[in-house]
Structure 1
């Protein structure tokens, strides 16, 4: 479902939004707005990426677990990936992931998602229905 959204719905939505914006402000202003949006996004990625990296280094150097800083770094990278794709919808989502004002909301969503995945995998392993090949314990004897 996520792949369908990413590769079918998002491009169609981006094209529709680009056409609508182009009809309202004109094609040249739309192109200029996309260029300015990309410049703003690159500046934001650079600034917030440096902040996230420095906060991560500080946490590691003081011996504390950098869970918040790792989540922030992941969100800045994901936001940067959205900013690289052309279009207003992905740029808006990317900016929301990068901005320090809106990042805590997305950080909590990311942490809750990661927590659910860990719990789900632990439950699968403790129920004895571990996915993957069957492991047979034994010894290797070299007969040379």
Structure 2
């Protein structure tokens, strides 16, 4: 599973307006769908965040696909009036295995991995692990610090 968060998307809405932001989101969603394999699922989670479910996908391939998405996103250019709008993406990757309790747990862990990708300078891919969670807890930058490990 991948959690994709668009970097600097707020500036698109602030500088070009929400209609322009919606156009960028639509363009990116179509491009991501074309990039992914048959059977993979991409959906907007809200705001500037997308979830990607990579079906029957080994972790190594998932990381390659996530990095490909990361490279694809800034190449998507949306014309809006005289402006050309682009964004970048930070992506968290989670291997859904026996340690994932339920879909909400999977989404939360992928979001945590994405947070680490963003906190490391953005436009990056990070794979969730127990160390990821420790890093977030130690740095206390998680937007809603949980009391226990997810």
Query: Which is helix-richer, 1 or 2?
Result: 1
Task: Say whether the fold is shared (TM-score over 0.5).
Answer: no
Higher Rg: 1
Q: TM-score, normalised by structure 1?
A: 0.29
Q: TM-score, normalised by structure 2?
A: 0.28
Q: Higher relative contact order at CA 8 Å, sep ≥6: structure 1 or structure 2?
A: 2
